[in-house]
Chains A and B, each alone.
Chain A
């Protein structure tokens, strides 16, 4: 069946696309090109002296052990966020799918955190875990745990992971729930009649049929962990202590905006750009093939 809309006039599709293209060019392509251009330069903060230095910024970047450390931090952070974000929301979605009474109330409550801005999510959790006044800190101290994420890097990491996961669960939940509801009930019932228990039904029918959703969410969650968690980190740890939560995108901001090192910061964003391109290509080329659509 032909579903395509055919325009009679040649220019209308272009005109309709123009605003979107304009926005993309002004806010995405121009800054991206500027970043590439700046990455080859050495500038003072005020832009009074500019010198073309070729690949020097990149060479310095990869000599800097801190930068390499930031890669590790980012990898750990995004794996944790994507893994826990997906697992917890899948569990919640399967539960919510079975609820018969008051389902709407459950769903509404679970979707709620999505409406919270990342910075606010960060502050919220930072308050709960605040070293002096946090409620959870109080409980932890009562259990004899020395909780102070201001100085302990692993605790700071835990904090930003919790805040980021909490924020993202709603989004994942929505997609998983929609995915679950689109699985034909007849399949599950047939399996049940054949004597398959709930666990077996989940792993042999539900999970494979959910895999397109899972794959899509995996991509979205990794991109989220890479970029959108900026607000959470800026509002809580600001990359500290001792760079324990300094993910790549935060380092770009930190070096460029706070430290006024535009060349080095631009070189980092170019590297980040390449990483994202490679990541997307790899995911769609290789991982997608193994997904059961």
Chain B
């Protein structure tokens, strides 16, 4: 007992006798768990070691929706962090909260730190830029969705393992053969809405919503019940009926079904590669998403997922200086290349992409540049620049609920997507009314 008290006294004395330097602390709330979190801490630690004035304090706040919720609650109580990592579907909510955030371009200009929004890949920058051309948040971790195949399963089914299906027609032929070869799960997907609605639309150059997918104004409406969308989703529903498509869930549950060998084909985040590399006991390859070859303009380019860093409002000028310094540090090509190669996220500036290519990383890791190639497949159109819908966290869930009803055979594709549009538009109108 006495030892405990002694230890406590010593510990508290240690707390108070720490270095008395006036370091400005900057809070950074993020959602990078596991290996990603370790890498993120390393990046923050390197910045802290590179100078003495500022200290980045990186705090893991749970999943993307959780850390966003935590920051909103903290903002209401007056204790928001300086920097908040927000996932892509939360972008419109953050943009709508004009008093709560400071645009990244303003933060950098005020601190006279160099910042060039044009250095970023167009598919990345477009996502975080407002209709007047101002970049509002700092792109940090971006990914896109890719198509993975199990080469061993292809061989077993008598298919050429070097030829992954390019179109949905070829996909259907391969699926039939895989099923016939005794494959219990032929195809699954992670992030069903991101893949089969959002990226599907961009890849086929059709709008997800009016007003350039919501980027042109808050009065946008969803258009995901177009004939092409209905055709695609009812094709998937048929696949599900044939036993060619196994639904895995709304987030990344599909990853494990592929890496365990249960499913032979899989669409999932480009960021899933690290996990698959570790777990898979079979040969696999990563490819572009399949497309419908009779659609004009397809394949276009895919859109990103992932997150960006938002600077919250109401802080001291000295602290904003530190934020700007940190963002400038994050913009360095070598820092970006390190983050890209260690995590599997897309290199988000052209310079860091070139740098990584020259380093020979892609020769050693085939497929690692597939995501950036797919994002850059063509110059983005109004339909493939990205999307910006108010409260899309909820909107995406509505879409997923309707997809679940369709895949379970409870609704046909047309009825489900009509309902998704109707309910989605209600959410948009409510957001519009609350963010006048």
The interface residues of chain B lying within 8 Å CB-to-CB of A46 are: 72, 75-76, 97, 99-100
0/1 string, A32-67, CB within 8 A of B gives 1: 000000000011111111010000000000000010
Give which listed residue, A48, A150, A240, contacts B100 with CB less than 8 A: A48
0/1 string, A169-191, CB within 8 A of B gives 1: 00000000000000000000000
The interface residues of chain B lying within 8 Å CB-to-CB of A47 are: 75-76
- Closest CB-CB distance, A288 to chain B, in whole Å? 40
Decide if B277 is an interface residue (CB 8 Å cutoff): no
The interface residues of chain B lying within 8 Å CB-to-CB of A49 are: 434-436
The interface residues of chain B lying within 8 Å CB-to-CB of A42 are: 430, 433-434
What total of A-B pairs shows CB separation below 8 Å? Answer: 85
Beta-carbon contact of B401 and A240 below 8 Å: yes
Size of chain A's interface in residues, with CB distance under 8 A? Answer: 28
From A10-18, A78-86, A255-263, A279-287, give the one contacting chain B. Answer: A255-263
Given A46-B75, A47-B76, A242-B405: A132 and B394 interface contact (C-beta under 8 Å):
no
Decide if A113 is an interface residue (CB 8 Å cutoff): no
From B104-112, B126-134, B143-151, B246-254, give the one contacting chain A. Answer: B246-254
Give which listed residue, A45, A148, A152, contacts B72 with CB less than 8 A: A45
Beta-carbon contact of B391 and A241 below 8 Å: no
Beta-carbon contact of B247 and A148 below 8 Å: yes
Beta-carbon contact of A150 and B248 below 8 Å: yes
Beta-carbon contact of B404 and A48 below 8 Å: no
Decide if A153 is an interface residue (CB 8 Å cutoff): yes
Nearest A residue to B431, CB-CB: A44
Decide if B357 is an interface residue (CB 8 Å cutoff): no
Beta-carbon contact of B408 and A260 below 8 Å: no
Decide if A151 is an interface residue (CB 8 Å cutoff): yes
Beta-carbon contact of B247 and A132 below 8 Å: no
Nearest B residue to A263, CB-CB: B434
Beta-carbon contact of B402 and A259 below 8 Å: no
Decide if B113 is an interface residue (CB 8 Å cutoff): no
Decide if A211 is an interface residue (CB 8 Å cutoff): no
Give which listed residue, A44, A151, A255, contacts B407 with CB less than 8 A: A151
Decide if B210 is an interface residue (CB 8 Å cutoff): no
- Closest CB-CB distance, B358 to chain A, in whole Å? 41
Beta-carbon contact of A150 and B247 below 8 Å: yes
Nearest B residue to A42, CB-CB: B434
The interface residues of chain B lying within 8 Å CB-to-CB of A257 are: 69
The interface residues of chain A lying within 8 Å CB-to-CB of B256 are: 132
Known: A42-B430, A259-B394. 20 other contacts (CB 8 A): A44-B97, A44-B431, A44-B435, A46-B76, A46-B99, A47-B75, A51-B433, A132-B260, A150-B253, A151-B247, A153-B410, A240-B401, A240-B404, A241-B404, A242-B401, A242-B402, A255-B394, A258-B393, A258-B397, A260-B93
